[in-house]
Amino acid sequence: MTSRQRTVIIFKSESDSTDVYAETLLGHNFNPVFVPTLCFGFKNLQELGNKLQTPDKYAGIIFHQSTAVNEALLLGELPGGWKLLHNYAVGEVTHNLALSTLQQLFTHGKQTGNARNLGEYIVDTFDGSRDLPLLLPCGNLATDTLLSKLAENGFCVDACEVYETKCSPQLGECVERALKEAGDSVEFLAFFSPSGVACAMEYFRAHNISLEPWKLVAIGPSTRRALESQGQKVYCTAERPTVEHLVKVLLNPQDSRERLVREREQMQELERAAAAAAAALENN
């Protein structure tokens, strides 16, 4: 590592994308250090496996992550009928995993990056029958954002809770090692999910570690809101969970802050318009 490199501690569990992140960040003179933040425990896999064998009962499948589906299919393959349906993935990593491990199952929506955007994408682009439900293998920390959006627009969703998200038992050890080895070169802490924020903040609070010395980077607006709800100041926010978007905000943080100001101004304008409309209805 050269003296010009700036270290980014990335609170992200290792996956097939880790090497891509490392290579790309190193290519832009950042030194990435990965801290496994979450781990998963599976449940109800037999129930999910049974559902996966009946694609004719569904309009398609929605992936938050495809690992649980792989576990449920250990004794068999995904029926080919799913390829004819409307299938979605919340991000590029999940899309690529489904493509590589589920008999080349293609999913739509990988560019959306979060549940809110995926819900809007499905509503805007779905051109099939809504008489059949969409299968949604999900975890214990899943929010109602996606389910509510789809229900409001006439979709039926079969949500099957098949995994539990927990804090990684390695988190503390890896944070300590990263801070010790990287020392003063640590400039950024990058967080990938609200649940990852919760786990990391639990460790930092338990050890009386202030985050003031570092610049906090959020991957996606929901992660930014999670950091802010913990009383943390967010330095910049990547629009989507890709290494390209992460590098972009690390190199040009001002763009991220200007975008956030615009988003908040737009939200305030919408709130004012809604209040004005409500007042007009009351006056009538």
* Domain identity same for 151 and 81: yes
Residue 24 lies inside a defined structural domain of this protein: yes
Q: Read off the pLDDT band of 253 (50, 70, 90).
A: confident
Average pLDDT, the chain: 87
CA proximity to 104, closest of 127, 68, 78: 78
* Domain identity same for 63 and 160: yes
Nearest-10 Cα torsion for 149, 152, 157, 163: 40
pLDDT tens sequence across 124-135: 999 988 899 999
Average pLDDT value for residue range 263-275: 64
* Domain identity same for 18 and 106: no
* Domain identity same for 50 and 129: yes
Q: Are 137 and 160 in contact (CB under 8 A)?
A: yes
pLDDT tens sequence across 70-85: 888 876 789 999 999 9
Pairing of β 186-191 and β 157-167: unpaired
Range of the domain at 106: 40-166
Last residue of a domain, one of 166, 200, 222: 166
Alpha helices in 102-212, H assignment, sequence order: 115-125, 145-152, 171-182, 194-206
Q: Read off the pLDDT band of 206 (50, 70, 90).
A: very high
Rounded alpha-carbon distances, angstroms, from residue 209 to 99, 176, 201, 203, 235: 41, 11, 9, 8, 18
pLDDT tens sequence across 112-170: 878 888 999 999 999 988 899 999 998 876 667 888 899 999 999 999 998 888 899 99
Predicted local distance difference test score (pLDDT) of residue 187: 96
Q: Per-residue pLDDT for 16 more than 60?
A: no
* Domain identity same for 208 and 279: no
* Domain identity same for 124 and 79: yes
CA proximity to 32, closest of 139, 149, 189, 226: 189
Please, what is the Cα angle at 211 between 167 and 254, to 5 degrees?
Answer: 110
Q: Per-residue pLDDT for 18 more than 70?
A: yes
Residue 173 lies inside a defined structural domain of this protein: no
Q: b/e map of 83-104 (b: 16 or more CB within 10 Å)? A: eebbbbbbbbbbbbbbbebbee
pLDDT tens sequence across 170-190: 999 999 999 999 988 999 999
Q: Residue 89 and residue 107: Cα distance in Å, rounded? A: 6
Question: Which residues, 6+ apart, have CB-to-CB distance to 70 below 8 Å?
Answer: 101, 102
Residue 176 lies inside a defined structural domain of this protein: no
- At 274, which helix (H) or strand (E)? helix 253-283
Q: Residue 135 and residue 62: Cα distance in Å, rounded? A: 6
Average pLDDT value for residue range 90-95: 84
Residue 179 lies inside a defined structural domain of this protein: no
CATH code assigned at 194: 3.40.50.10090
* Domain identity same for 240 and 259: no
Q: Are 62 and 45 in contact (CB under 8 A)?
A: no
CA proximity to 35, closest of 168, 182, 183, 186: 168
* Domain identity same for 54 and 28: no
Amino acid at 105: L
* Domain identity same for 73 and 157: yes
* Domain identity same for 270 and 245: no
Q: Read off the pLDDT band of 101 (50, 70, 90).
A: confident
Residue 175 lies inside a defined structural domain of this protein: no
* Domain identity same for 243 and 259: no
Q: Are 135 and 158 in contact (CB under 8 A)?
A: yes
Provide, rounded to the nearest whole percent, the portion of the chain with pLDDT above 70: 86
Name the most confidently modeled range: 140-144, 218-222, 270-274.
218-222
* Domain identity same for 27 and 123: no
> How many domains would you assign to the chain?
3
Residue 190 lies inside a defined structural domain of this protein: yes
Q: Residue 215 and residue 256: Cα distance in Å, rounded? A: 13
